[in-house]
């Protein structure tokens, strides 16, 4: 009954979406969806690289030198919206 959609049904669905959201908002919605997909992809890639670094790192105590501040970017290559992130410091040192 609902197994396969033919070209007529797909066109009908697209027309209904166009009528509901309007022609002006659809490009903005597609652009934001693409931007979100790029952010998700870059974050997933960063998590994989971080996981590989953790596996390769020795299990000794952390280095005493201060790490460089991390920067979060809204999208790869979008430097206008990047901002530095202040990481929490450990105040319980003995």
**Domain range summary for the chain, segments of one domain joined by +:** 23-54
The answer to whether the beta carbons of residues 94 and 81 sit under 8 Å apart is: no
Collapsed DSSP state (helix, strand, coil) of residue 16 = helix
What was the pLDDT predicted at 67?
64
What was the pLDDT predicted at 4?
83
Residue that the structure tokens 């003995």 belong to: 94
pTM for this model (two decimals): 0.41
Collapsed DSSP state (helix, strand, coil) of residue 50 = helix
CA gyration radius for the chain?
A: 23
Question: Can you list the alpha helix ranges (DSSP code H) found in the chain?
Answer: 7-21, 25-56
Q: Quick one: tokens of 72?
A: 């979060």
Q: What is the pLDDT of residues 26-66, one digit of tens each?
A: 888 889 999 999 999 999 999 998 888 777 666 555 555 66
Residue 21 pLDDT grade (very low, low, confident, very high; cuts 50, 70, 90): confident
């Amino acid at each position: 009954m609902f197994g396969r959609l033919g070209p007529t049904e797909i066109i009908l669905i697209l027309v209904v979406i166009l009528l509901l959201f309007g022609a002006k908002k659809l490009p903005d919605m597609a652009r934001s969806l693409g931007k979100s997909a790029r952010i998700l992809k870059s974050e997933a890639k960063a998590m994989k690289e971080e996981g590989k670094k953790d596996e390769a790192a020795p299990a000794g105590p952390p280095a005493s030198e201060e790490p460089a501040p991390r920067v979060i970017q809204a999208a790869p290559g979008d430097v206008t919206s990047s901002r530095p992130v202040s990481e929490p410091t450990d105040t319980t040192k003995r």
